[in-house]
Structure 1
Amino acid sequence: MPSFDYDLLIVGGGPVGASLALALASQPLRIGIIELSPQQSNIDSRALALAFGSFRIMDSIGYWADIAQEATPIEHIHISNRGYFGITHLDSTQIHLPALGYVVKMGFLNQAIYQRLKDFSQIELIRPAKVIQIQNRSNHTQVQITLNSEIHTLSAQLLIAADGAHSVVRQLLQVPVYKKDYDQTAIITNIETEHPHQFTAFERFTDTGPLALLPLAKNYSNVVWTVKSSQAPYLIEIKDEEFLSKLQDRFGNRLGKFIHADQRYAFPLQLIKTRQLISDRVVFIGNAAHNLHPVAGQGFNLGLRDIAALAEVLTNAHRQSQDLGNQAVLATYKQWRQWDHRIVTQFTDTLIHLFSNNYPLWGLSRGLGLATLDIFPPFKKVLMQQAIGLMGQQPRLVQGLSL
């Protein structure tokens, strides 16, 4: 087999791209991670809701123990519709699990992943580097990058795009995407509440979009408040007291008085979905393949299932001495992941259409639906299995097994 600089080149050193490298670290593969930022932030206070299936992936890869003490379990989920009757409660004991998921701050996750990367000499971090050209050959791909003001050309059997919603790889290859602008913006912050959250995540639907509170340490919760984009600048700029008052009005008093808010961030929301999950010697994962609305917290978890499936496909191919960039190998990955992508994308998009409006009849129907779901355990079990990432054909890492 011809010799290349790397077996795999991963563009994007975020949690998805770096986790893929760690998932494959037990294999005799040379892996390069091309990352644009000069260093990874370890103080990012934004939070991620990890489904139980994602916990299994991280545990199987080997870095869950490094973040476990900083992770807050989600034992209950409370779903409501502001201004209408009907509530659904989900409980981890209903499906015999210790938790439905966990909440961890992005900074702790980045720190754990990058600390673990140092243990593997066959994984090289190439930073700060930018991809400027991609040329696919019959038996390899060539990637031209700028690194320290110099241009370098790297080669690999396979290029993996994990470089986010506005993927440079996707743009350079002119891969078409489907886009939908929701005209919504997510306001993200952490708040302190009067009463403890009791390890409960709240998803409250309002006429401007969903409002989620995710449990953190002590009496703190992470807030993901979806508002109309025209409202976002005002909610970012007002004083904390006024912001907390308006947030309290939308959420209610289930956690008592809102006491304190950290710095606020605003993120415009779009659905961006690649129309080609694979290309010649290129595969798209994470937000480079599917950037979703944050409702139900599915996006990052979908990305982790991408790496679990891709790591298994590539491991099997390598053991059979196959070319990792071979179209048949990539087609196996594509076929495996299409169903999950389609279901989760349709699920999140449909939720936004059903719940982000103030039509009275729709509100009554939504309330009836939530109330009905709450009293039918079989329906509830299916919803929970989907929410925690344990539906469909599960990769070995999702099952808690090694590759």
Structure 2
Amino acid sequence: MARAATPGEDEGLDVAIGGGGYVGLCLAVALKQADPSLKVAVVDLRPREVMVKDPRASAIISAASRMLDRLGVWDAIVPQAQPITSMVVTDSRLRDAVRPVFLTFEGEVAPGEPFAHMVPNGVMVENLLKRAEALGVELLAPDAVADFHVDGTGVDVRMESGAKRRAKLLVAADGVRSRLRSLAGIQTVRWDYDQAGIVTTVAHERPHHGRAEEHFLPSGPFAILPLTGNRSSLVWSESRTEAEKLVAGDDFTFELELERRFGRHLGRLELAGPRHAYPLGLTLARSFVRPRVALAGDAAHGIHPISGQGLNLGFKDVAALAQVLIEARRLGQDIGALDVLERYERWRRFDTFRMGVVTDVLNRLFSNDIDAVRAVRDVGLGLVDRLPGLKRFFIRQAAGLTGETPKLLAGHPI
């Protein structure tokens, strides 16, 4: 089990990670598994029992599940993971009686390997936490980084508890409103969509057969993502004002509005979890690194959920950063030096920028009710649906299996 540090104790670390979500924990596991001699600590403001209670679920692409398998946690996760075996895309108005399907995706990226799974976030974090503890990662929770000071050989980290630690590298994995990013003086490019994403879980009478659905409605995309059993996870984009009303209102009104968007093809619906609304926007860090500091996950990039790639971008960061750090250490290089960290930035920056632009364009293209725009986008979706080669490329792209793939995402050890 991980040992808690005594307040005020100053033990030397190789890597301190601010943020104990799936990105921070996954990075800690990847580093310790590749090099057990590394001293790694994860700092999180939440107590351990709260860290594992995230009620949301996320789409885990094939490449990410390969990495989780390599890190020794996928076997424990998979009993509660729902394979996504197909996906349909529609484009309609809310009042339309029929929602024509313009695009379908089916198939596997390899025999027996679907292009994605739906995984409860709490299950994922719990198993990553158990693996981190088994490997000897130090968990400092509940606590948070209050401040840090960088010098030529390391970074002095001061915790809110009063503990002080020195590390060679500090990784900010503390979310889209990252405090560590601000303390590092890293600016962001950000704009607000005036939308909120409503997230909840729904039970339904009939089975979904692993099919995901994305309905493009004028207020934004409405995604139905299959979970184990007769349940689905919803990611429902609305104007911020409307979303706040729906979340704050009574269950009866919410379920009526839900049924208007979900439809009745899976039978009677029933809320099976809490509902929350999260503001949607685009946030891109102008730099991913500073001397002794690196950003990962939402601290580096926050994108619209229209493509379901936000979490998976974070896993790509983990795989790339872990590989860069381990390879540098094996060469006897300083893992916190700027020239080492810039290798990670060069690897991840373009992919992140491209995904940010793609999701921004898609959201603007599909979150409107302009007839001319609707006609163009529907023709485009129809053309893609009729080109099997292009569909296969998009599936592999969505599964994270194209481009310069880090070793962990290909299922290989670092």
Provide the TM-score with structure 1 as the length reference.
Answer: 0.95
- With over 3 angstroms needed to count, the CA separation of the structure-2 counterparts of 1:34 and 1:261, relative to structure 1, is closer
The one-letter amino acid paired with 2:70 is S
2:347 aligned partner:
336
1:54 aligned partner:
64
Superposition deviation, residue 265 in structure 1: 0.9
- With over 3 angstroms needed to count, the CA separation of the structure-2 counterparts of 1:346 and 1:210, relative to structure 1, is same
1:146 aligned partner:
160
Alignment of 1:93-132 (within 5 A): 93=108, 98-121=113-136, 123-132=137-146
1:16 aligned partner:
23
Superposition deviation, residue 97 in structure 1: 5.4
- With over 3 angstroms needed to count, the CA separation of the structure-2 counterparts of 1:154 and 1:194, relative to structure 1, is same
1:87 aligned partner:
102
2:287 aligned partner:
276
Contact (CA 8 Å) 1:130, 1:145: kept in 2 or not?
yes
User: Which deviates the most, 176-185 or 165-174?
Assistant: 165-174
- With over 3 angstroms needed to count, the CA separation of the structure-2 counterparts of 1:142 and 1:36, relative to structure 1, is same
The one-letter amino acid paired with 1:14 is G
1:32 aligned partner:
41
Q: Return the alpha-carbon distance in structure 1 between the equivalents of residues 49 and 294 of structure 2.
A: 24
Contact (CA 8 Å) 1:86, 1:370: kept in 2 or not?
no
Q: Report the 3-state secondary structure (helix = DSSP H, G, I; strand = E; otherwise coil) of the residue aligned with 1:323.
A: coil
* Counterpart check, 1:385 vs 2:392: no
Superposition deviation, residue 23 in structure 1: 0.6
User: Which deviates the most, 231-240 or 202-211?
Assistant: 231-240
Q: Report the 3-state secondary structure (helix = DSSP H, G, I; strand = E; otherwise coil) of the residue aligned with 2:339.
A: helix
Superposition deviation, residue 34 in structure 1: 1.3
The one-letter amino acid paired with 2:241 is S
1:67 aligned partner:
77
Alignment of 1:346-385 (within 5 A): 346-385=357-396
User: Which deviates the most, 254-263 or 357-366?
Assistant: 254-263
Superposition deviation, residue 45 in structure 1: 2.2
Contact (CA 8 Å) 2:150, 2:291: kept in 1 or not?
yes
2:7 aligned partner:
none
Deviations 1:146-192 (A, max 9, x none): 22xxx222111111110111111111122111111110011111111
Q: Report the 3-state secondary structure (helix = DSSP H, G, I; strand = E; otherwise coil) of the residue aligned with 1:73.
A: strand
Q: Report the 3-state secondary structure (helix = DSSP H, G, I; strand = E; otherwise coil) of the residue aligned with 1:80.
A: strand
Q: Return the alpha-carbon distance in structure 2 between the equivalents of residues 156 and 242 of structure 1.
A: 52
CA RMSD of aligned residues (A): 1.7
Superposition deviation, residue 219 in structure 1: 1.1
Q: Report the 3-state secondary structure (helix = DSSP H, G, I; strand = E; otherwise coil) of the residue aligned with 2:409.
A: coil
Q: Report the 3-state secondary structure (helix = DSSP H, G, I; strand = E; otherwise coil) of the residue aligned with 1:119.
A: helix
Q: Return the alpha-carbon distance in structure 2 between the equivalents of residues 145 and 94 of structure 1.
A: 44
- With over 3 angstroms needed to count, the CA separation of the structure-2 counterparts of 1:261 and 1:63, relative to structure 1, is closer
- With over 3 angstroms needed to count, the CA separation of the structure-2 counterparts of 1:115 and 1:94, relative to structure 1, is closer
Superposition deviation, residue 17 in structure 1: 0.3
1:171 aligned partner:
182
- With over 3 angstroms needed to count, the CA separation of the structure-2 counterparts of 1:219 and 1:227, relative to structure 1, is same
Q: Return the alpha-carbon distance in structure 1 between the equivalents of residues 153 and 245 of structure 2.
A: 54
Q: Report the 3-state secondary structure (helix = DSSP H, G, I; strand = E; otherwise coil) of the residue aligned with 1:33.
A: strand
Superposition deviation, residue 255 in structure 1: 2.5
1:134 aligned partner:
148
Superposition deviation, residue 106 in structure 1: 1.3
Q: Return the alpha-carbon distance in structure 2 between the equivalents of residues 348 and 94 of structure 1.
A: 23
The one-letter amino acid paired with 2:275 is R
* Counterpart check, 1:298 vs 2:312: no
Superposition deviation, residue 40 in structure 1: 4.1
Q: Return the alpha-carbon distance in structure 1 between the equivalents of residues 65 and 273 of structure 2.
A: 27
Contact (CA 8 Å) 1:212, 1:223: kept in 2 or not?
yes
Contact (CA 8 Å) 1:80, 1:370: kept in 2 or not?
no
Structure 1 segments of 4 or more deviating over 4 A?
Answer: 94-97
Deviations 1:75-116 (A, max 9, x none): 111111124745211112476552111111111112111111
Contact (CA 8 Å) 2:320, 2:348: kept in 1 or not?
yes
Unmatched 5+ residue regions in structure 2? 1-9, 94-98
Q: Report the 3-state secondary structure (helix = DSSP H, G, I; strand = E; otherwise coil) of the residue aligned with 2:283.
A: strand
Alignment of 1:188-199 (within 5 A): 188-199=199-210
Number of residue equivalences: 397
Identity percentage of aligned residues = 34
Q: Return the alpha-carbon distance in structure 2 between the equivalents of residues 85 and 370 of structure 1.
A: 11
* Counterpart check, 1:401 vs 2:401: no
Provide the TM-score with structure 2 as the length reference.
Answer: 0.92
Superposition deviation, residue 194 in structure 1: 2.6
Unmatched 5+ residue regions in structure 1? none
Match of 2:268 among 250, 257, 265: 257
User: Which deviates the most, 108-117 or 178-187?
Assistant: 108-117
The one-letter amino acid paired with 2:19 is G
- With over 3 angstroms needed to count, the CA separation of the structure-2 counterparts of 1:255 and 1:367, relative to structure 1, is farther
Q: Return the alpha-carbon distance in structure 1 between the equivalents of residues 108 and 334 of structure 2.
A: 45
Contact (CA 8 Å) 1:240, 1:261: kept in 2 or not?
no
Q: Return the alpha-carbon distance in structure 2 between the equivalents of residues 95 and 248 of structure 1.
A: 36
Q: Return the alpha-carbon distance in structure 1 between the equivalents of residues 101 and 376 of structure 2.
A: 10
Superposition deviation, residue 132 in structure 1: 1.7
Q: Return the alpha-carbon distance in structure 2 between the equivalents of residues 345 and 40 of structure 1.
A: 33
Contact (CA 8 Å) 1:75, 1:98: kept in 2 or not?
no
Q: Return the alpha-carbon distance in structure 2 between the equivalents of residues 119 and 286 of structure 1.
A: 24
